Structure 1
Amino acid sequence: MVTQPETPGAGLTCAGRLTMLTAWPPKNNAPSLRICSSSPSRRSTHGRETDPAVRATTCGVLQASQDFWDDRGEETVEAAEQEIDTAFQKLVAALTARWGSPETVDLEPYLWTEDPAPEPINELCQISGQMLVWRRPDAGRWVALAIGQADREFPIELLAAVGAAPVP
């Protein structure tokens, strides 16, 4: 679950392998967002990523609903979808304010290719049908958001990814 920091400049820790940091409160009412890997197993003692592949790509869950093993009722699922969509829309607004309008990328073709798709696209296409992508040509990378669910009993997840692989 993503929560607002209590002190200015505090970070937000999210579920999964990503940490979302914000400058709080935003300057000039413009949202500020930074996504970075927080995988401790591949960090050096100085906090810098040591594996070049990890520096270039990462994917993680920012927020997840409850699972649906015990209750798959329509009201329960709709409430979970609404909660995740609200968080998704807030992040879309923050990233759009910073980097402009995103591109929608269909992930289904990656799921059915003979060769595995490059990461993090491969991970995303397993649980989501599309992603919104903000390209960062100055950094040679892109940032993406997606909503996905591995199967109907699993949680609905808000996912963020950073990648360097070409995206059509």
Structure 2
Amino acid sequence: MTIAQHLAVIDRLCSEDFPSEHSRSDVGSGGPGYRMAELATSEDFWEADGAAREETEEQYEADRDGLSGLLTRRWGHPDVLSLSSVLDRVTDGEDIPEPWGVLSSHVPDVYLWKPAGHDRWLALGISQWDRELPFQLLAVITETDPP
């Protein structure tokens, strides 16, 4: 997908209703109060060397930053929210509302916007569940305030 396609997906998700129950869609997943788009997914790293993984990570960061630049022109500078303390709270047994609870387990931080006059948050981040698994560029639209 190109950056223009990423923006089209984000625009669509910003305007769609949230699903009433957890489900998959053509671009990702969602549930009550949120939608998550998997904008890009890399190959896995089971057979790759460290240099290939590092190069892929740098490319995903560049893609996130490029998309972030376009979103910043629309909605102003984002907040950067570390999700590590949210993951600590989940690990300690605290009930964190979705999508933040699950997101904290595989996305270290997100760029976060809440455009003026909107009741929804947009979070943009890079996911990787484990070192051997693919990177994903994720966009999350939610009405649930960050914890």
If the TM-score is normalised by the length of the shorter chain, which range does it land in? 0.7 to 0.9
- Once superposed, what is the RMSD of the aligned Cα atoms? 2.6
Query: What is the correspondence of 1:23-38 to structure 2 with a 5 Å cutoff?
Result: 34-36=11-13
The answer as to whether partners of 1:104 and 1:130 remain within 8 angstroms in 2 is yes
The answer as to whether partners of 1:59 and 1:123 remain within 8 angstroms in 2 is no
Shift of the 50–86 alpha-carbon distance from structure 1 to 2, 3 Å rule, reads closer
Query: What is the correspondence of 1:2-81 to structure 2 with a 5 Å cutoff?
Result: 2-3=1-2, 12=5, 20-21=7-8, 34-36=11-13, 51=20, 54=31, 56-71=33-48, 73-81=49-57
- 2-side partners of 1:132 and 1:111: how far apart? 17
Q: Corresponding residue for 2:82?
A: 106
How much has 1:84 moved relative to structure 2? 1.0
More helix by share: 2
Q: Corresponding residue for 2:98?
A: 119
Q: Could you report, residue by residue, the CA deviation over 1:53-77 in whole angstroms, capped at 9, with x for unpaired residues?
A: 8473112321121100111x12211
Residue among 72, 77, 97 paired with 2:73:
97
Residue among 120, 136, 140 paired with 2:115:
136
Q: Corresponding residue for 2:139?
A: 160
Gapped regions of structure 2 (runs ≥ 5): 22-29
Q: Could you report, residue by residue, the CA deviation over 1:30-57 in whole angstroms, capped at 9, with x for unpaired residues?
A: xxx61418xxxxxxxxx86562884731
How much has 1:88 moved relative to structure 2? 0.6
The answer as to whether partners of 2:18 and 2:35 remain within 8 angstroms in 1 is no
How much has 1:107 moved relative to structure 2? 0.7
Shift of the 48–108 alpha-carbon distance from structure 1 to 2, 3 Å rule, reads closer
Greater RCO, CA 8 A, separation 6+: 2
Q: Which has the larger radius of gyration?
A: 1
Shift of the 144–67 alpha-carbon distance from structure 1 to 2, 3 Å rule, reads same
